[in-house]
Structure 1
Amino acid sequence: MDFNMTIVKPAYFVIRGFYGIPNINYYYIFLLVLYIMSVVENGAVMALISLDQSLKTPKYIAVFNLAFVDMLGHSTLVPKVIDTFWFNHKNIPYNDCLTYEFFNFMSLTMQSLNLVLLSFDRLVAITFPLRYRVIVTLKSMFILVAASWLYAICINLIAVGFLTRLSYCGTVVINSYFCEYGPLIRLACNDNFPQVVLALQFEGDNAEGHGDSSNMNNKFEDQ
């Protein structure tokens, strides 16, 4: 990638994902209800773990973090989706789009890592029941959670950093319901090979195939 080239950044992108679907407002109402339920339930889980001394265990540190990340992910995605489509605010500024993409995918990364931590906790409990309290301590779980956050933040900052090297000289319409990595790559008019490699590495469900960047670019599927 030539880092000395001129990068063309649009003032905004246009989100088009849910337009033209009949009776779509009922879906937004349903989505809003689910979001409120998610916030209440995750808030209740976090409050219960914080207030109940018997739940101050390594496993529930991971459970607390999972509830927080789940709330963060929903709060990042759902209100913006409702604002975009229900209130017809389909234009999103360039910097806001990248910030939106970062928090969405950081939340998804953390959700996956939290499930890994909970699986690790159960694996140790089953495999080494007599040494469980020695291996899985409050300190070790805090370290694992902190390391997970650090990894999720760094890897998604790198991904967003690579997006800033893309140049957009054609359409700025994103065929998705939020600022998504694959569609943003597909809109670029300059070489996108490093971005495609990152997408294949960390978001493989959004892309498939191999070859040069122009061929790989066409492999991304709309979500």
Structure 2
Amino acid sequence: MERGNQSGVSEFILLGLSDQPEQQRLLFFLFLLMYLITGLGNLLIILAIRTSSCLHTPMYFFLSNLSLGDICFTSTTIPKMLANHVSGNKTIPYAGCLTQVFFFIFFGVIDCIILTAMAYDRYVAICTPLHYSMIITPKVCGLLIVASWFWASVNALINTILLTHLSFCGHSEIPHFFCDLSPLLKLACSDTFINNLMVNTIGALTIIISFIGILISYAQIFVTVLRIPSTAGKWKAFSTCGSHLTVVSLFYGTIIGVYFSPTSTHTVQQDTAAAVMYTVVTPMLNPFIYSLRNKDIKGALRMILTRKPSLYL
């Protein structure tokens, strides 16, 4: 961080999504609403899983961790954006920007790994149901979560430390609503070869390999489901995977489009729109996607919302 301060940049300016006052007010209330829905929806999912004994299974254990990750993921970017709008100040300190980059990568990587773990859980449950309890044990679930936190820390730490070695030569305007790695690298006036190399190697190890793991899991699931003789059995198997596939498509599709496609093929506006999808929209939709098609979660949520408070509390 010291070297960044020596380059003459003590803070960055987040240009946001619009420079029109009317649009800024509309975006403020829209993002505030989406943030509140994201927080409330994911908290309800976590509460439903914790309080309902029938949801104490590996699949819902991963889902509760995904919901927690989504809350933290959105909290990394949206509150600062809303605070800047209220204060009328678009700046973010140099150290604050690097901190935002760290936690954005950290919670983004955790989401990637948890989505992969959920796909593997569905693969074992559908393709080898007799061995499910022996393979997906509480110890294995715990180790997968710990591994996701460890790898996320390594990934975020490496990329953040490499950022501190860049010079910005007084260029401080970020055409984004948060400190993202991609626009920061474009803003630097020093050599970013090592930074881009790390993004395309460590990032690929995380995102691409996780995505391939999900594709392989669902390819095996698809083959297994096709062998089920009854139509009702096929529909039941596919319905348990449909929600997860929807989330995976939204999350990975936009991330791969932003970070792993040629920069010449998309504009700043397209990058920002894609970032809004995976940082705000997808975490907001996750509770609805997983609960609307899941009878167990809907039942647990109904019990929570209709439960009368105890007179002894």
TM interval, shorter chain, is 0.7 to 0.9
- 8 Å CA contact 2:105–2:155 kept in 1: the answer is no
Say if 2:151 is the partner of 1:151: yes
| Alignment partners' CA distance in 1, 2:8 and 2:161 | 13
- 8 Å CA contact 1:206–1:220 kept in 2: the answer is no
Say if 2:14 is the partner of 1:15: yes
In the TM superposition, residue 86 of structure 1 has moved relative to its aligned partner by: 4.1
- Select between 163-172 and 49-58 the one with higher mean Cα deviation: 49-58
In the TM superposition, residue 62 of structure 1 has moved relative to its aligned partner by: 0.5
Name the residue aligned to 1:206: 259
SS in 2 for 1:92: strand
1:13 maps to a residue whose letter is F
- 8 Å CA contact 1:200–1:207 kept in 2: the answer is yes
In the TM superposition, residue 220 of structure 1 has moved relative to its aligned partner by: 8.4
Name the residue aligned to 1:133: 133
Name the residue aligned to 1:75: 75
In the TM superposition, residue 88 of structure 1 has moved relative to its aligned partner by: 1.9
Question: Over residues 73-96 of structure 1, what are the superposed CA-to-partner deviations in whole Å (9 max), with x where a residue is unaligned?
Answer: 112221111112343221111110
Name the residue aligned to 2:57: 57
- 8 Å CA contact 1:207–1:221 kept in 2: the answer is no
Task: Provide TM-score, normalisation by structure 1.
Answer: 0.86
| Alignment partners' CA distance in 2, 1:138 and 1:118 | 14
| Alignment partners' CA distance in 1, 2:76 and 2:102 | 10
In the TM superposition, residue 176 of structure 1 has moved relative to its aligned partner by: 1.1
Give the gaps of 5 or more residues in structure 2. Answer: 204-254, 272-313
221 and 23 in structure 1: CA distance in 2 versus 1, 3 angstrom threshold: closer
| Alignment partners' CA distance in 1, 2:100 and 2:135 | 38
| Alignment partners' CA distance in 1, 2:51 and 2:145 | 20
Say if 2:214 is the partner of 1:161: no
- 8 Å CA contact 1:174–1:183 kept in 2: the answer is yes
SS in 1 for 2:144: helix
1:206 maps to a residue whose letter is Y
101 and 19 in structure 1: CA distance in 2 versus 1, 3 angstrom threshold: same
2:7 maps to a residue whose letter is V
Name the residue aligned to 2:182: 182
Task: Provide TM-score, normalisation by structure 2.
Answer: 0.63
SS in 1 for 2:129: coil
| Alignment partners' CA distance in 2, 1:60 and 1:36 | 23
- Select between 120-129 and 197-206 the one with higher mean Cα deviation: 197-206
- 8 Å CA contact 1:25–1:86 kept in 2: the answer is no
44 and 120 in structure 1: CA distance in 2 versus 1, 3 angstrom threshold: same
Name the residue aligned to 2:66: 66
Say if 2:98 is the partner of 1:45: no
167 and 200 in structure 1: CA distance in 2 versus 1, 3 angstrom threshold: same
- 8 Å CA contact 2:17–2:177 kept in 1: the answer is yes
1:12 maps to a residue whose letter is E
| Alignment partners' CA distance in 1, 2:260 and 2:134 | 42
| Alignment partners' CA distance in 1, 2:261 and 2:60 | 37
Question: Over residues 146-175 of structure 1, what are the superposed CA-to-partner deviations in whole Å (9 max), with x where a residue is unaligned?
Answer: 101111111111111110110121311111
In the TM superposition, residue 54 of structure 1 has moved relative to its aligned partner by: 2.3
In the TM superposition, residue 68 of structure 1 has moved relative to its aligned partner by: 0.2
| Alignment partners' CA distance in 2, 1:31 and 1:15 | 16
Alignment of structure 1 residues 52-131 onto 2, 5 Å: 52-131=52-131
14 and 107 in structure 1: CA distance in 2 versus 1, 3 angstrom threshold: same
The RMSD of aligned alpha carbons is 2.3
Question: Over residues 116-157 of structure 1, what are the superposed CA-to-partner deviations in whole Å (9 max), with x where a residue is unaligned?
Answer: 111000001111110011000111111111101111111111
1:20 maps to a residue whose letter is D
SS in 1 for 2:87: coil
Name the residue aligned to 2:24: 24
| Alignment partners' CA distance in 1, 2:66 and 2:165 | 33
1:54 maps to a residue whose letter is C
